Amino acid sequence: MKSLTLRHYVLAGLLGALIAALGFTPFGMVPVPTPAGSATILHIPVIIAALIEGPLFGSLVGLMFGAVSYWRAVVAPANPMAQVMFIEPLTAFVPRILIGVLSYYAFRAAHNEIWRRIICGATGLLVWDLSYRTAVQYLGWLDSSAATYLYFFPVGLAVTLFLFRLLSGEDAPVIAGALAGSLTNTVGVLTLVTLRGVLPAPASAVIAVVHGLPEAAVAVVVTILVYRSLSRRLAHREG
């Protein structure tokens, strides 16, 4: 793990200023007509910081993301729901700090073929289980029998195969890091607000789909482009 130097603090300040600029404009917190009220791209600088400089630096930038979320909830909330969600410091800070940790370690793990397979399989199992629980416990569509549980097996298998395909190229580690960071933000925030009783579980599930999946897709595309550019610059400078 890299220790933080003066250069890191200067770079963190610049990224923090970027996050603040995006966070207080519609460019970073895009208003949408859903229970959450807005979709964000502010997690992307945190992911990129972690992939380039390590988890400690990524966590520092994530802390700044959390500070922007909390400060905006206090002084200039984007909407009433955002104020209720992020006025509690635990929700505003913890998931954002964890983005820098989990995105980095997913990035590192995806360099290894065995870990890549484990990530794909574990994600497929998780999606299988969550799709069953959402349909049965939250939406009440089906009964809770073992046959119903097996009914959702193709969903988990499809996700597993899709991830195998997605993580088979040279950008696999970057994709894994971007997905992990984006999902850490989405799942972390929604889990905490659900536990606090701010949102019911069905509403959180809707937000996870409506916001989480598009945000993850955008994070993957932008992170790949920026990481490639920065990697070439760093390689050229070191060469």
DSSP assignment string, 7-46: HHHHHHHHHHHHHHHHHTSTTTEEE-SSTT-EEE-THHHH
Q: Which residues, 6+ apart, have CB-to-CB distance to 135 below 8 Å?
A: 141, 142, 148, 152
Residue 48 belongs to a domain: yes
DSSP 139: S
User: What is the pLDDT at residue 178?
Assistant: 93
**42 or 136, greater pLDDT:** 42
Q: Where residue 231 falls among pLDDT bands split at 50, 70, 90?
A: confident
Residue 90 belongs to a domain: yes
Q: What angle do CA 180, 131, 146 make, to 5 degrees?
A: 130
Q: Checking DSSP bridges between strand 38-40 and strand 29-31, what pairing results, if any? A: antiparallel
Residue 138 belongs to a domain: no
- What domain range is 207 assigned to? 6-110+167-238
**Which secondary-structure segment (H or E) carries 94?**
helix 89-109
Show the tokens assigned to 153: 């097996």
Per-residue pLDDT averaged across 24-37, rounded? 64
Q: How far is CA 150 from CA 77, 124, 125, 129, 132, in A?
A: 43, 13, 12, 10, 9
Q: How many domains does the chain have?
A: 1
Residue 154 belongs to a domain: no
**Hunting for tokens 């610049």 — which residue is that?**
14
User: What is the pLDDT at residue 39?
Assistant: 66
Weakest-pLDDT range from 73-77, 116-120, 183-187, 234-238 = 234-238
CATH number at residue 55: 1.10.1760.20
SS3 state of residue 4: coil
Residue 158 belongs to a domain: no
Digit-coded pLDDT (tens) for 31-68: 666 555 566 788 999 999 999 889 999 999 999 999 98
How many angstroms separate the CA atoms of 140 and 133, rounded? 9
Side chain identity at 119, as an amino acid letter? I
Residue 124 belongs to a domain: no
Side chain identity at 123, as an amino acid letter? T
Rounded to two decimals, the pTM is: 0.81
Residue 181 belongs to a domain: yes
Q: 179 with 219: CB under 8 angstroms?
A: yes
Q: Where residue 70 falls among pLDDT bands split at 50, 70, 90?
A: very high
Per-residue pLDDT averaged across 19-23, rounded? 80
**Hunting for tokens 């380039």 — which residue is that?**
52
Digit-coded pLDDT (tens) for 160-210: 888 888 888 788 899 999 999 999 999 999 999 999 988 888 778 777 877
User: What is the pLDDT at residue 239?
Assistant: 53
Residue 206 belongs to a domain: yes
